[in-house]
Structure 1
Amino acid sequence: MHPLAPGRKTPPANCPACQANAHAADACQCHAAGRWCHGFHAATLDPDLLDAWWKTNPGFGAGVACGPARLVVLDVDTHTDAVPARDRILPGIPIHQDVPLEGLASGYHSLALLAALHQADDPTTDTGTLRVRTPSGGLHIWYLDHAGLEFTCSTGSSSTRALAWQVDVRAHGGFIVAPGTTTHTGTYDPLPGAKTPAPLPQWLSDNLVRTGHLKDKPVPLPTVQPAAPPRARQAVLAAGGGRTGANRLLEPLLQDVANCAAAPEGTGFTGKLNRAAFTAGGLAAAGHLTHTEAEQTLLAAALAARPARDRHNRTVIRAGLAAGARRPLHLEARG
C-alpha cells in the first residue's frame, strides 16, 4: 500500500530533494528513510510505517501497487469518446460488418462483447471477485495474477497494446485506488459480492497474452485449454457463417481448426488452419464469399484454438488464402 494525495487519485509529490535531483526510484534513499517518494514504488506492508504516514497526513487516500500484490485489475471506463473503427474495439479480433454496434458506448460494452465472443461470463457482473465502482461510473475488477504469468499495464485507447476499447489494464508497473478511498469527485465503493480478488479467469489470461501484456518475455501457457466445439461454432456463426453451399463446405474445416483447443500441441493446428484457409481462398476467388469474410471467419476459428498465437495465425491464414485464390473453387462443378 502507498499514499495518494488528499482528494486525488494520484500519489503525492516527491520530497523537495527528489524533485530537485531527478533519479530512478530504485536509487532513491527516501524509501530506506521511511518516506513515500516515487508513488507506488514506495508501497509497503510495514504497519508501523503505514501508521506513521497516515498519522502525519490523515487526508491521504490509499493506493495499491499491483505488481508486488500480484494484481491484474480491469479498469472499465465510461468516457464519452466516439466509438473507434471496428478493428480498434477488440484489438486483434475482427468484428464482422453484420454485427450491429448500435448502443456501444463504453468499456462495459466492449468487455461484454469480448466475453461473449469467448462464451464467457461478463467480468463486470462477476460477483465472485472484488469489484469497485469508481466516482465517474466506471468499474475496477480485481483479479490475482495467473500462476506463472506476470502482466503489464495498458490503456484501452493504446495503438500498441490494448485489451478492449475503454478497458485499461492495471498490473506490473502501475497501481490502483484502494476501495473506500474518497477523492474530490467521490468514493471508490466496493459492490456486493466477493471482498477479495479471485484468480484471473483463463480466457482473460489468454487474451492478455494475445494482446502483448506479458511482462519481460513470453511464458508458456498452461497445458489445460478450454473445450472448443461450442465456442468454435458460435465464433463461426458470429463471423458470418451460415448455411450457404460455401459455408457447408468450409464449416467442417473451421471446426477442425477450433477443435485444436483441446490440446496445446500435437493436434496438427497449422496444417488444419492452412487447409481451411486454402479452401476459403478458393471460395472467395470463385465469388462465393468476400476475401474479408473469409479472413475474419478464419481468424475467429483460429482464435478459439490458439488465442496467444495471433501473429502466427494471421501469417498462415494469409498464405493459405493467397494460395487458394490461385485455384478458384466453383461449387457448381462439384459432384
Structure 2
Amino acid sequence: MLDELGFPPSHSVADAATQSPANSLRTALACAARGWPVLPLAPGRKTPAANCARCQGSAHSPATCECIAHGRWCHGFHAATDDSDRIRDWWKSQPRFGVGVACGAAGLLVLDIDAHETPLPQRERLLPGIPIGDHVSLNGLQHGFHSLALLAALRQEADPALDTGTLRVRTPSGGLHVWYRTAPGQTWLCSTGSSPRRALAWQVDVRAQGGYIVAPNTVTGSGRYEVLPGSATPAPLPGWLETELIRTGHQSASLPRQSTGHPTPFRARQAVIAAGAGRDSATRILAAALATIAECRATPEGASFTEKLNRAAFTTGGLVAAGHLDQHAAETVLLEASEHARPGQQRRCASVIRAGLAAGMRRPLVLKDDRP
C-alpha cells in the first residue's frame, strides 16, 4: 500500500528503524515517476553512494565522467536519473540504498530547517540583510524553526514550517524539510544557514540547484524521514519567499528563462536601469518582478495575473520606500510590463499597481547591500 504521493508508509516501530529494500526501490521509482531524478544514498546514511575506485582517485569533472555516461552512480546528484530501468539496476546492485532527489533537476526548492543546539550567532547573521537592534531581546530564540518564524512574522506571512499545503518531512534529528516547486526555467542556488556569504536565515539551509535532498520515508541510522500530515505534494514556491531568496542572493546570475516566448519588453528592461535601481540586489528584484508579469502574456486566463501584478507592485513599493527607486519611474515600468501582458487593460492595471505600490511603500525592503 502506498500513501498519496506513492511512498510506502511505515507500519511499525521496527519498520521505521530499518530500510526495507523493497520500500526503498518503490520510493525511488515513485520519485522518478514524478519527474524527480534520484540518486542512491549509502546504506543507512544521508550521503551519496561512494564513487567507483577510478573516480575516487581522479579529479575529473562529472560532465566528462564515463561512469555517468555508462549509467553508473558516480558523482552524487550529477548522476541522478528518472530512468526506471537504470534505477532498478542500481537497486539490484545494492538493495539497501537510500534515496536522494536532485533538487535543481527536479524543479524543487527545499527549506531544510535545523534544530541544532548551538550558540546564537551575531545578530546580523540571524536574518542576513535585516538589522536586529541591540534593544531587541533574543531570549527564546534557539534554532532554525525560530529564525524562519521570525522572518515570516516580519513579512506578515505564514510560517513555512506550519504550511500544511505543501509536502513537509520530519527529519530524524528533529528538523524539517519543506518542499516547494519552482517556476519553469527558474534557477535557485543552494545555501547553508550558517554561511557568511549567502543565507536565508540562521539554521535554515536552502536545497536547490547543485544539491540534493533525502527522499521521504528514507531510513538512515538515525531514523526515518517521515511525511507529516497535510499535502503530500510540493506546492508552488510562495511569492514572498521568492522575494526573500532574491534579496539574499539565491537567484542564479542568469535571469529565469521566459517559457512564454515573450521576454520582458525592451523598453521595460531599459527602464529598470533608468529608474534608479542602481544596486545589484534591487535590480535583480525589480527584474524578477517584471518577469512574473510578462510571463502572463502567454496565458490570457487562469494565470492569476491580478495577484501577480499586485505582488510585483508591492515588492516594487518596498524598493521605492527604501530609496532604491523613484516612485514615478516604478509606476511607469510596472504599467509598461502590464500593458505587454494584458494589452488594452491599462485602467484596471493602473488601479492594481497604485494600490500595490502604496501598500509596499509602507514596508521598506531592506537589502543586504544596505548594510553599512
Q: Name the TM-score, length of structure 2 as normaliser.
A: 0.64
Deviation string 1:260-287 (CA, Å, 9 cap, x unpaired) is 99x9952499xxxxxxxxxxxxxxxxxx
Q: Which residue, out of 266, 284, 287, partners 2:330?
A: 266
Identity %: 54
Q: Say if 1:228 and 1:258, in contact at 8 Å, map to a contact too.
A: no
- Aligned pairs (5 A) from 1:88-103: 88-103=125-140
Q: Which runs of structure 1 show a deviation greater than 6 angstroms over 4 or more consecutive aligned residues?
A: 258-261
Corresponding position: 1:174 with 2:211: yes
Corresponding position: 1:111 with 2:148: yes
Alignment gaps of 5+ in structure 1: 233-253, 270-300, 319-335
Q: Which residue, out of 176, 179, 190, partners 1:142?
A: 179
Match of 1:226 in 2: 311
Per-residue deviation, 1:22: 2.1
Q: Whole-Å Cα distance in 1 between the matches of residues 223 and 328 of structure 2? A: 46
Match of 1:257 in 2: 321
Q: Whole-Å Cα distance in 1 between the matches of residues 361 and 196 of structure 2? A: 23
Match of 1:205 in 2: 242
Q: Do the aligned partners of residues 216 and 268 (structure 1) sit closer, same or farther apart at CA in structure 2, a change above 3 Å counting?
A: closer
- Aligned pairs (5 A) from 1:4-19: 4-19=41-56
Work out the number of aligned pairs and report it.
Answer: 258
Deviation string 1:291-315 (CA, Å, 9 cap, x unpaired) is xxxxxxxxxx8793546x552xx38
Q: Which structure has the larger Rg over C-alpha atoms? A: 1
Q: Whole-Å Cα distance in 1 between the matches of residues 131 and 82 of structure 2? A: 44
Q: Do the aligned partners of residues 22 and 199 (structure 1) sit closer, same or farther apart at CA in structure 2, a change above 3 Å counting?
A: same
**Quick check: 123-132 or 47-56, which moved more?**
47-56
Deviation string 1:1-52 (CA, Å, 9 cap, x unpaired) is 1100000000011111112222100101112212100001110010011011
| Letter matched to residue 239 of structure 2 | Q
Q: Say if 1:65 and 1:175, in contact at 8 Å, map to a contact too.
A: yes
Q: Say if 2:109 and 2:207, in contact at 8 Å, map to a contact too.
A: yes
Deviation string 1:216-252 (CA, Å, 9 cap, x unpaired) is 33552134353999xx9xxxxxxxxxxxxxxxxxxxx
| Letter matched to residue 206 of structure 1 | T
- Aligned pairs (5 A) from 1:299-310: 304-306=363-365, 310=368
Match of 2:8 in 1: none
User: Helix, strand or coil for the counterpart of 1:161?
Assistant: coil
- Aligned pairs (5 A) from 1:306-325: 306=365, 310-311=368-369, 314=370
Q: Whole-Å Cα distance in 1 between the matches of residues 123 and 362 of structure 2? A: 17
Q: Say if 2:181 and 2:234, in contact at 8 Å, map to a contact too.
A: yes
| Letter matched to residue 226 of structure 1 | R
Q: Which residue, out of 202, 205, 212, partners 1:165?
A: 202
Q: Say if 1:132 and 1:189, in contact at 8 Å, map to a contact too.
A: yes
Per-residue deviation, 1:128: 0.4
RMSD over aligned CA atoms reads: 3.0
User: Helix, strand or coil for the counterpart of 1:176?
Assistant: strand
**Quick check: 165-174 or 24-33, which moved more?**
24-33
Q: Say if 1:106 and 1:166, in contact at 8 Å, map to a contact too.
A: yes
| Letter matched to residue 60 of structure 1 | F
Per-residue deviation, 1:257: 2.4
User: Helix, strand or coil for the counterpart of 1:266?
Assistant: helix
Q: Do the aligned partners of residues 207 and 104 (structure 1) sit closer, same or farther apart at CA in structure 2, a change above 3 Å counting?
A: same
Q: Do the aligned partners of residues 228 and 44 (structure 1) sit closer, same or farther apart at CA in structure 2, a change above 3 Å counting?
A: closer
Q: Whole-Å Cα distance in 1 between the matches of residues 128 and 362 of structure 2? A: 12
User: Helix, strand or coil for the counterpart of 1:136?
Assistant: coil
